[in-house]
Amino acid sequence: MKISNSHQKGEVKILFIKDKKISQLTKTQKDTLSLLGFEGIGNIFIPENKTFVIGIDKSLQDFPNTLRDSLAQAIMSLKKLKIKSISLEAQSLQEIKEICEGILLGNYTFDTFKNEKNKSNLKEVYIHAPTLDKKAVDSLIAQIQIIANSVNTTRELINTPPMEATPEYIVNFVKNLSKEIGFECKVHNTQFLEKEKMGAFLAVSKASCHNPYLVHLTYKPKTSKKSSLKKFVFVGKGLTYDCGGLSLKPSDYMTTMKADKSGACAVIGIVDSLARLGIEAEIHGILGLTENMIGGNAYKPDDILIARNGKSIEVRNTDAEGRLVLADCLSYASDLKPDFLIDLATLTGACVVALGDYTMGIMGYNPKLKEDFLKIASSAGELGGILPFNPYLKKLYKSEVADLCNIPSSRYGSAITAGMFLGEFVAESLLQKWLHLDIAGPAYVEKSWGVNPFGATGAGVRACIEFVKQKA
């Protein structure tokens, strides 16, 4: 899709109404709207003059996503009308940003397997911004296009069914991507995991007929004006399927577990964008790719695993597998001595209970870092909530027979205890530089919301890109 800064008229005109101010409309438009019972809030299409009116709810004006979400919802409705071009007006760069994001993210559809496609025909978007600097507008549009494409790449990978999107499929995908953009992609197989003594990661992988991989992506700018570059390391949980293992999930909870690779797919999207944007920072992406399955060779409740950092873990529930894979990935990532270490994972159902579907859990030991991330995520249009660690919870994941237990002894606060468990595998010197993002809620939702059509959302991608942009 092409978004241009131009005065050209589109097939449909998009009109915003803020504060129910419908004075900018013609008399006929006002009459039509009042006939249809439109009171200034919500979306409505006036067929006679092909105008799509978006009435922004004043009570939500402070809410960062209002314009972006309205645009996305409008685009989702317009898909059905098979419109080829739209035009609209913008008064500020912030408006341009939200408009472009809403359009590009709302226009995504996952219909590869549908015979009857619901693809949008939208090819041209004309934004009239006579009061704004043309260069600034063009460069902003180009940036948003890169970021939205990465979010859509992440969504596509997550939506791809588990029979196809195996660890090997993700490896091949990211290998090709790295060649196309020019970042490094090292693929480590089982032998490497064995050599590195990644006993926790390996245990989870045992019952799968697909080989596990730890993928290490590295981006460094070719030339830089800076004397020293900040180093960001992102670690993603990449369970291409999580049936729970021998602690098998009930059927209702098993569906959607193709999305248990959302953390790793988000990391791919983050590295993809930052490399395309040529960001002045060193970026690493670590993907822990495997499946959690059942079978004669499966790891079992009662097993005791030795993780890469030497800590022993009693397994009491094989469905708490993400923290085992991430334990070894975080220990590996710690060796890179980053300035910022961020993991993204669909880690716990408890996080969804705590914060709801739409909000990611932000955890860690550094209050300022958590606050900063929350603010930056919100400015990028993503919702987060800080879940506080506390020392009293530590005893909940102690074990009688090993150093740690993979599930806590109480289910209260178990998004937090899962996060604190991960902290046991981050080098102590890095605990103040580490953030854990539990994206179990927003990564995959079986209804459309905000800028998201049904399914994968690409949660974490926009927030982390913005974080790097501000902290690099």
The residue from 237, 323, 370, 462 that is catalytic is: 323
From the list ligand BES, Zn ion, none, which binds 348 (C-beta under 5 to 8 Å, kind-based)?
ligand BES
Residue 343 binds Zn ion, judged by CB under 5 A: no
DSSP bridge partners of 283: 219, 232
Among the residue ranges 51-59, 197-205, 313-321, 410-418, the one whose residues contact Zn ion (CB under 5 A) = 313-321
User: How many alpha carbons lie under 13 Å from residue 458 in its C-beta half-sphere?
Assistant: 34
For residues 195-254, which are near Zn ion according to CB under 5 A? Answer: 239, 242
The one of ligand BES, Zn ion, none whose footprint includes residue 317, by CB under 5 to 8 A per kind, is ligand BES
* Residue 263 near Zn ion by CB under 5 A: no
Q: Which of the following is catalytic: 20, 175, 249, 311?
A: 249
350 touches, from ligand BES, Zn ion, none (C-beta below 5 to 8 Å by class): ligand BES
Residue 322 is a binding residue for Zn ion (CB under 5 A): yes
CB of 382 to ligand BES, least distance (A): 17
Q: Indicate if the alpha-carbon torsion angle 306, 309, 310, 311 is positive or negative.
A: negative
Using CB under 5 A as the binding rule, whether residue 303 contacts Zn ion is answered as no
Q: Is the dihedral of CA 429, 432, 433, 435 positive or negative?
A: positive
Rounded to a whole number of angstroms, the minimum distance from the CB of residue 446 to ligand BES is 11
Separation between Cα atoms, residue 265 and residue 234, nearest integer Å: 11
Min separation Cβ 255 and ligand BES, Å = 10
- Minimum gap (Å) between residue 242 Cβ and Zn ion: 4
Q: Out of 98, 319, 382, 438, name the contact with Zn ion by CB under 5 A.
A: 319
Our CB check for Zn ion shows the closer of 4 and 256 to be 256
Cβ count near 19 (within 10 Å):
11
CA dihedral 30, 35, 36, 42 (to 10 degrees): 40
Q: Please state the closest distance from residue 161 (CB atom) to Zn ion, in A.
A: 17
Comparing CB distances to ligand BES, the nearer of 98 and 438 is 438
Choose from Zn ion, ligand BES, none: what does 202 bind? Cβ within 5-8 Å by kind.
none
HEC profile for 50-93?
CEEEEEECHHHCCCCCHHHHHHHHHHHHHHCCCCCEEEEECCCH
Q: Nearer to Zn ion by C-beta: 206 or 231?
A: 206
Q: Which of 90/320 has CB closer to ligand BES?
A: 320
If one asks whether residue 466 binds Zn ion (CB under 5 A), the answer comes out as no
Q: Which stretch binds Zn ion (CB under 5 A): 45-53, 312-320, 374-382, 389-397?
A: 312-320
Q: Which of 62, 47, 65 is nearest to 359 (CA)?
A: 65
DSSP state of 449: B
Examine the residue annotation and report whether 316 is marked as an active-site residue of this protein: no
Helix ranges (DSSP H) in 133-283: 134-159, 167-181, 190-195, 199-205, 251-254, 262-277
**96 vs 347 by CB, closer to ligand BES:** 347
Could you tell me the sign of the dihedral formed by the alpha carbons of 31, 35, 39, 43, in that order? Answer: negative
Give least dist CB 421 to Zn ion, A: 13
Measured from the CB of residue 275, what is the shortest distance to ligand BES in angstroms?
28
Query: Is there binding between residue 438 and Zn ion (CB under 5 A)?
Result: no
Cβ proximity to Zn ion, 264 vs 281, nearer residue: 264
Q: Which does 349 bind (CB under 5 to 8 A by kind): ligand BES, Zn ion, none?
A: ligand BES
Q: Judge whether 323 counts as a catalytic residue.
A: yes
**Distance between CA atoms of residues 416 and 389, nearest Å:** 6
Q: Which CA distances in Å does 246 have to 198, 292, 303, 401, 451?
A: 21, 9, 12, 21, 37
Token readout for 15 is 């009109």
Does the footprint of Zn ion cover residue 89 (CB under 5 A)?
Answer: no
Rule CB under 6 A: which residues touch ligand BES? Answer: 242, 260, 317, 319-322, 346-350, 352, 407, 414, 440
Task: Please compute, for residue 333, the number of CA atoms within 13 A of its CA located in the half-sphere on the CB side.
Answer: 39
Q: Are strands 184-188 and 124-128 parallel, antiparallel or unpaired?
A: unpaired
CA distances from 185 to 84, 146, 175, 282, 340 (A): 38, 20, 6, 14, 20
The strand pairing partners of 438, in sequence order, are 345, 361
Q: Residue of minimal CB distance from ligand BES?
A: 349
Report d(CA 267, CA 237) in Å as an integer.
Answer: 9
Stretch touching Zn ion by CB under 5 A, among 72-80, 317-325, 384-392, 442-450:
317-325
Smallest CA-to-CA distance from 344 within 407, 253, 437, 423 is with 437
Half-sphere exposure of 243 (CA within 13 A, CB side): 14
Size of the site for Zn ion (CB under 5 A): 6
Residue 441 binds to Zn ion (criterion: CB under 5 A)? no
- Smallest gap from Cβ 417 to Zn ion, in A, equals 15
User: Please, which residue, 87 or 414, has the CB nearer to ligand BES?
Assistant: 414
Which positions are catalytic?
249, 323
Can you give the binding site for Zn ion, defined by CB under 5 A?
A: 239, 242, 260, 319, 321-322
